[in-house]
Amino acid sequence: MMKNISSLSILNLKNTMNIKANNPALKSWIEVAENSDFPIQNLPFGIFSLGEETARVGVAIGTKIVDLKALFELGYLNDLSFELADFDAAVLNPMLLQGKEAMRDLRNRISDLLNVENQELQGNSDAIESVLIDAENADMHLPVYIGDYTDFYSSEQHAYNVGCLFRDPDNALMPNWKHIPVGYHGRSSSIIVSGEPIHRPKGQKKPNPEEPPVFGQSNLLDFELEMGFVTFQGKPLGDTISTEEADDFIFGMCLFNDWSARDIQGWEYVPLGPFLGKNFASHMGAWIVTLDALEPFRVAGPVQNPKVLPYLEYKGDKHVAINLEVAIQPENTEETVVANSNYKYMYWNMNQQLAHHTINGCNINCGDLMASGTISGPKEGQFGSMLEISWKGSKSVAMKDGTERKFINDHDTVIMRGYAQNDKTRIGFGEVTAKILPVK
């Protein structure tokens, strides 16, 4: 039965410091390497398939995937509010319609079953064979059906860098930037899962400002290092979600590469913003890490000056410290790391983004995806796009194979990684990888 998510705040879901599955002392009977992205404290959700079998819901731990359909059929999830159809599905949306409280109960239950001190599943070798899948044998799929996708522009350093490149340092940030979490509605149909190659896009460009535009392939293809968050079902049209309520409507986070064709975008974006320069492809991580699992990594955000309007004010630590890395791998050679950033550098946090998104009564649906915008830190080496790294093509980045990059070449693979870590736990997101094929 679907739960009324809009009433979750009265269920004391704010007391997240005592989430049982987050206990750093937990150990699993499944072997997990010390530097794994997927310890028992993580348990991210995704969609997988084996061979010709239908896709279904899984949870990652170490190098294994827990098949939740099989787990349910064996009776291990009987005391929860879910049905078989929630797990025997090619997207996470049916499961997510159960809401935040139910998902917290599910993650806690899976954690119990994988705990070394629990014999329920550990002591049943036949069940283990049905439930545990080697991740290397599985095909991963886009984890959610994304009805709507919103891309924000919430890293101050990135916005400043772009403003410097296209205007000047004294006029880098637009007048509205520190008053609202700027965003736009992007194309959801071209969001694809990590690992799927894409072709270089083509379109109109205007390389010479004194001459008419030309048509051809994008020569300034760029990645954008972003994080995304996925929502539960929101409130009815006309209602709003406050910064205090926002956590109850956010399921979890994923890595996100929001590709950009800078030459196409540069010609088209005035006056209505990105279009063909952005909508040709975006890559999403296969695993969604729950917001619950990220609670231990909350940090304070920057002092926001000027003071924001009351609906954007928030209490507590709502930013999240997530280490991020981008590498470029030319074909048939080793990768070169070109950026190391951190999600904590965001100026606007998820709670503010969701509150602003709904302040006019816009309704949020289950499975909606919100992306952070490019994440850049304050120093060189921490910039989240080649536009900034190459400073609009004025600098070259050396690859380990001896070649150089200003933007992304054909047959390059871009790899993004992310993890949160403290002195007790590491919670990772896996990778988002994508290879660029020549233009069609």
Structure tokens at 238: 């006309």
**Is residue 284 within 8 Å of 143, Cβ to Cβ?**
yes
- Helix, strand, coil content of the chain in percent (nearest 5): 25, 25, 50
Predicted confidence at residue 17, as pLDDT, reads: 55
Burial code of 380-414, b = ≥16 C-beta within 10 A, e = fewer? eebbbbbbbbbebeeeebebeeeeebbbbbeebbb
User: Which residues, at least 6 apart from 10, have a Cβ–Cβ distance to it below 8 Å?
Assistant: none
CA atoms within 13 A on the CB side of 125: 0
**Is residue 268 within 8 Å of 297, Cβ to Cβ?**
no
Structure tokens at 65: 């995937």
Predicted confidence at residue 18, as pLDDT, reads: 73
CA distance 72 to 110: 11
CA distance 409 to 403: 11
| H helices present in 78-222, as ranges | 84-87, 93-96, 100-114, 125-131, 156-166
Structure tokens at 397: 């980045």
Q: Which CATH code, of 2.30.30.230, 3.40.50.300, 1.50.10.10, 3.40.50.2300, is assigned to 5-141? A: 2.30.30.230
Asked about 141 being catalytic, the answer comes back as no
**Is residue 115 within 8 Å of 106, Cβ to Cβ?**
no
Query: Looking at the chain, how many residues does it have?
Result: 440
**Is residue 439 within 8 Å of 199, Cβ to Cβ?**
yes
- For the chain, residues with pLDDT lower than 70 are 1-17
The pairing of strands 426-437 and 198-199 is parallel
The pairing of strands 191-193 and 282-284 is parallel
Predicted confidence at residue 16, as pLDDT, reads: 53
**Using one digit for the tens of pLDDT, what is the confidence trace for 12-43?**
344 455 799 999 999 999 999 999 999 999 99
Give the start-to-end residue ranges of the domains of the chain: 5-141, 149-437
Q: Is 5-141's fold the same as 149-437's?
A: no
DSSP string, 60-97: EETTEEEEHHHHHHTTTTTTSS--HHHHSSSSSHHHHT
Q: What number of other Cβ atoms are within 10 A of residue 424's Cβ? A: 11
**Using one digit for the tens of pLDDT, what is the confidence trace for 170-190?**
989 999 999 999 999 999 999
**Architecture of the domain whose range is 149-437:** Alpha-Beta Complex (3.90)
CA distance 262 to 434: 18
| Active-site hit among 158, 283, 319, 357 | 158
Burial code of 120-156, b = ≥16 C-beta within 10 A, e = fewer? ebbeeeebeeebbbebeebebbbbbbbebbbbbbbbb
CA distance 66 to 60: 6
